[in-house]
């Protein structure tokens, strides 16, 4: 029988004493290629993408990269992930009087984008994938529902077969939020290419970064042109299709500097993901099986981006105890929801959504004349999601982790589990 090791939190020797020097995925790979492209953009003195020919524009080349990678007909670079969602919603004709279903666990930007086009977000439960529960989505559909936004959280894909089948049955637009799963796939299909629109983010925290930036992809010509109008109030002037009526939009254009950085980073996407996936697989293999500890369900492990590993404890008290003990062993981690920092990825911390608050109290999505439905919010309205989040422990993974680093994670989790779970 293998003796149980004394935990570091109880004056035992920690598994790991060397520092955990891993930070961000894309930014940590910035090197000579990024410098070359950005300096070339600066030397051109043409920061506005439409001043350049398409073959000379870094932003246009980044769009082409995503068209090729995803196998889609159209790609539109914008200045952020939230902007990409707004453009997709506007392109789909979503507006006052409409409801859009979103998961209870996603960054607040998903719901904020819905409100930005003056539609009503409807919040539904997530399941053990930590993504939208298809059954909860179907149960929330009303005569006012016009779209659904499945989010691929923490690099793990939503259950798109079920979600798209339900959406098709009810005639709903599917807008994939791929902000946290750039490069992921679902049974061989690239995330973002499955729904009617796919929306990406290149913000600092994402797999690759453009500093700030985003991308809208679609196979709809009209959808692409309408998204273009939304991202540039003079888009028609720069080459829009006159057969598609113009709509007033905001200016969400991507600059050539962001395009240059994004294009350089895009060429490193597969290398980053390959290492992340190897590391996650090694850790997952090393943790199976541990009685009382359940890994997050991933419906297609091959398509997982591998940016984090999440596992569940039997209850929130055990999760809190386990997390502190694991931290003492030298492995940074956190419970996903512990009632501490108001994590804006959790719906109960979406203060302005729950309070139906806009810049002006008049004509909001919830009280405008066009809206005939009735949606109410409550901090406890999604107990299943909260239960999973309170029992979940997450460890962020990095492409530069060595096999030794991964083995430290395995050793520490097994060591803590032997004492706390038994």
Q: What are phi and psi of 123, to 5 degrees?
A: -95, 130
pLDDT at 1 (0 to 100): 44
- Write out pLDDT tens, residues 105-134: 999 999 999 999 999 999 999 999 999 999
Instruction: Name the token pair of 249.
Output: 């939009």
**What letter does residue 248 receive in the DSSP assignment?**
-
Which residue among 46, 53, 67, 206 is the active-site one? Answer: 206
Tell me whether residue 145 is in a domain.
Answer: yes
Q: At what angle do helices 316-328 and 403-420 cross, to 10 degrees?
A: 130
Residue 42 lies in a domain: yes
Sheet with 334-335: list strands edge to edge.
294-295, 308-312, 392-396, 334-335
Q: Give the CA distances from residue 110 to residues 88, 120, 151, 345, in Å, rounded to whole numbers and listed in that order.
A: 12, 12, 8, 10
Tokens describing residue 290: 């541990």
pLDDT for the residue numbered 340: 67
Q: What are phi and psi of 80, to 5 degrees?
A: 180, 165
Q: Residue 369 falls within a domain, yes or no? A: no
Please tell me the predicted confidence (pLDDT) of residue 117: 98
Q: Cα–chain-centroid distance for residue 37?
A: 27
Residue 406 lies in a domain: no
Q: Is 331 exposed, middle or buried (0-12, 13-18, 19+ CB in 10 A)?
A: buried
Beta strand 392-396 pairing with 334-335: antiparallel
3-state secondary structure 62-114: HHHHHHHHHCCCEEEEECCHHHHHHHHHHHCCCCCCCEEEEECECCCHHHHHH
Map residue 279 onto helix, strand or coil. helix
**HSE (CB half, 13 Å, CA atoms) of 355?**
9
Q: Classify burial at 239, counting beta carbons within 10 Å of its beta carbon; exposed 0-12, middle 13-18, buried 19 or more.
A: exposed
**CA Rg value for the chain:** 22
Report which secondary-structure segment, H or E, holds 396: strand 392-396
Q: How far apart are CA 72 and CA 215, in angstroms?
A: 12
Positions of the chain with pLDDT under 70: 1-2, 237, 239-240, 339-341
CATH number at residue 244: 3.40.640.10
Look at the alpha carbons of 361, 364, 370, 375 in this order and tell me if their dihedral is positive or negative: negative
* 324 in catalytic set: no
Quick check: bond before 372 cis, omega within 30? Answer: no
Residue 52 lies in a domain: yes
Tokens 């670079």 belong to 77
SS3 content of the chain, % helix, strand, coil (to 5): 40, 15, 45
Locate 195 and state its tokens.
């729904």
* Whole-angstrom distance, CA of residue 115 vs CA of residue 100: 9
Q: What is the pLDDT of residue 2?
A: 56
Alpha-carbon gap, residue 178 to 38, rounded angstroms? 25
Close Cβ partners of 73 (under 8 Å, ≥ 6 residues apart): 67, 218, 219, 220, 221, 224
Spatial distance between the Cα atoms of 149 and 178, rounded to a whole number of angstroms: 10
Strand pairing category for 145-148 and 214-218: unpaired
Closest CA to 209 of 154, 143, 264: 264
Domain that holds residue 201: 32-268
Nearest residue to 177 (alpha-carbon basis) of 233, 109, 118: 109
Residue of 139, 131, 183, 119 lying closest to 161 (CA atoms): 131
Q: Considering the domain boundaries, does residue 346 fall inside one?
A: no
In a domain, 296, yes or no: no
Q: What is the predicted pLDDT for the residue at 222?
A: 95
Domain assignment present for residue 176? The answer is: yes
Summarised one tens digit per residue, pLDDT across range 129-181 is 999 999 999 999 999 999 999 999 999 999 999 999 999 999 999 999 999 99
Split into its structural domains, the chain has a count of 1
Q: How many helices (H) and strands (E) does the chain have?
A: 13, 13
pLDDT at 422: 74
Residues counted in the chain: 422
């Amino acid at each position: 029988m293998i003796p149980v090791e004394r935990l570091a939190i109880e004056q035992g020797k920690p598994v790991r004493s060397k520092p955990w020097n891993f930070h961000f995925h894309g930014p940590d790979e910035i090197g000579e290629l990024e410098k070359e492209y950005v300096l070339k953009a600066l030397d051109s003195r043409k920061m506005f993408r439409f001043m350049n020919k398409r073959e000379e524009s870094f932003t246009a080349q980044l769009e082409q990269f995503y068209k090729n990678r995803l196998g889609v007909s159209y790609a539109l670079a914008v200045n952020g992930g939230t902007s990409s969602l707004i453009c997709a919603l506007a392109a789909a004709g979503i507006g006052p009087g409409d409801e859009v279903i979103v998961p209870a666990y996603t960054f607040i930007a998903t719901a904020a984008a819905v409100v930005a086009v003056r539609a009503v977000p409807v919040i539904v439960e997530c399941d053990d994938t930590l993504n939208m529960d298809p059954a909860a989505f179907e149960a929330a559909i009303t005569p006012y529902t016009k779209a659904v936004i499945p989010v691929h959280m923490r690099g793990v894909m939503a259950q798109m077969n079920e979600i798209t089948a339900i959406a098709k049955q009810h005639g709903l637009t599917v807008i994939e939020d791929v902000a946290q799963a750039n490069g992921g796939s679902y049974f061989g299909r690239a995330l973002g290419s499955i729904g009617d629109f796919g929306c990406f983010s290149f913000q600092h925290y994402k797999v690759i970064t453009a500093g700030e930036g985003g991308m809208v992809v679609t196979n709809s010509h009209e959808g692409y042109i309408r998204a273009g109008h939304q991202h540039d109030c003079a888009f028609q002037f720069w080459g829009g299709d006159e057969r598609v009526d113009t709509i007033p939009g905001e200016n969400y254009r991507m600059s050539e500097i962001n395009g240059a950085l994004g294009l350089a980073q895009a060429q490193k996407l597969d290398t980053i993901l390959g290492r992340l996936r190897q590391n996650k697989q090694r850790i997952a293999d090393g943790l199976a099986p541990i009685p009382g500890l359940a890994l997050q369900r991933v419906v297609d492990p091959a398509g997982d981006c591998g940016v984090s590993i999440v596992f569940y404890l039997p209850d929130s008290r055990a999760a809190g105890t386990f997390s502190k003990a694991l931290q003492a062993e030298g492995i940074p981690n956190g419970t996903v929801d512990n009632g501490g920092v108001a994590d804006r990825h959790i719906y109960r911390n979406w203060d302005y959504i729950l309070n139906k608050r806009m810049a002006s109290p008049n004509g909001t999505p919830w009280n405008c004349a066009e809206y005939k439905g009735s949606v109410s919010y409550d901090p406890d309205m999604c107990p299943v999601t909260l239960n999973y989040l309170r029992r979940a422990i997450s460890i962020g993974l990095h492409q530069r982790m060595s096999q030794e680093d991964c083995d430290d994670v395995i050793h520490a989790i097994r060591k803590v589990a032997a004492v706390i779970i038994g």
